[in-house]
Amino acid sequence: VLRTTLDHRIQSLAETALRDAVARLRHAGVTNGSVVVIENRSAAVRALVGSADFANVADQGQVNGAIAPRSPGSALKPFTYALAFELGLATPDTVLADVPLNYTGYEPENYDERFRGPVSAREALAQSLNIPAVQLLQAVTPDALHRLLRDLGLTTLTRPTAHYGLALTLGGVETTLLELTNAYATLARLGVHR
């Protein structure tokens, strides 16, 4: 007897949604993806789809994208903001400066290479701006974010904090979709980690 928390209906919906999304986005270069669905209340994994098509060798269908380490990109920024809010260093209405900065040779840029000047933390996070996120990380310290992410179950942060530096909030580390999804579920449970 194999016992699992997967829900057959949710698993089937996730598989179909992923196949449809990859087909829709193929023209933009998307050839694969993965899905993890975690029930916030219980922390049970209800769906886990490792690839759009297991049999598709050309698109690496046999690589389980749900557990393969990948760069999370901007997906770590909310944890920097949550830490800043928890420490009382910022609120959603705190004005942050989206201006050119230089941290001893490290010059973060926004994805569109534009600067917006003063923006609220709420706006900066909603627009996924890099410079305000790096500023907040400087305030909360990379060590604090590194500890938080490890506490949230990101096992791939195996190097000292100095290795990642301020780029940590911008996804300068690899993690798995499964671990990242569980970290987000912790946010949904208002900080209760399972």
pLDDT in tens, 110-167: 999 999 999 999 999 999 999 999 999 999 999 999 999 999 999 999 999 999 999 9
Phi-psi sector, 22: left (phi>0), alpha (psi -120 to 50), beta? alpha
Cα separation of 115 and 109, whole Å?
A: 8
pLDDT, position 32: 97
| Other CB atoms within 10 Å distance of the CB of residue 13 | 16
Q: Nearest to residue 81, comparing CAs of 135, 146, 119?
A: 135
Q: Nearest to residue 74, comparing CAs of 167, 188, 183?
A: 167
Q: Is the predicted pLDDT of residue 27 greater than 90, yes or no? A: yes
Asked if 48 and 36 touch (Cβ cutoff 8 Å), the reply is yes
Q: Report the pLDDT averaged over residues 25-48.
A: 96
Cα separation of 194 and 187, whole Å?
A: 11
Asked if 80 and 57 touch (Cβ cutoff 8 Å), the reply is no
pLDDT, position 104: 85
Asked if 168 and 150 touch (Cβ cutoff 8 Å), the reply is no
pLDDT, position 69: 96
Q: Is the predicted pLDDT of residue 4 greater than 90, yes or no? A: yes
| β pairing state of 35-38 and 45-49 | antiparallel
Tokens of 194: 């399972």
Q: How confident is the model at residue 79 (pLDDT cuts 50, 70, 90)?
A: very high
Q: How many residues does the chain have?
A: 194
Q: Kind and range of the H or E element at 134?
A: helix 130-140
Can you list the positions of beta strands (E) in the chain?
35-38, 45-49, 95-98, 117-120
Q: Report the pLDDT averaged over residues 2-26.
A: 97
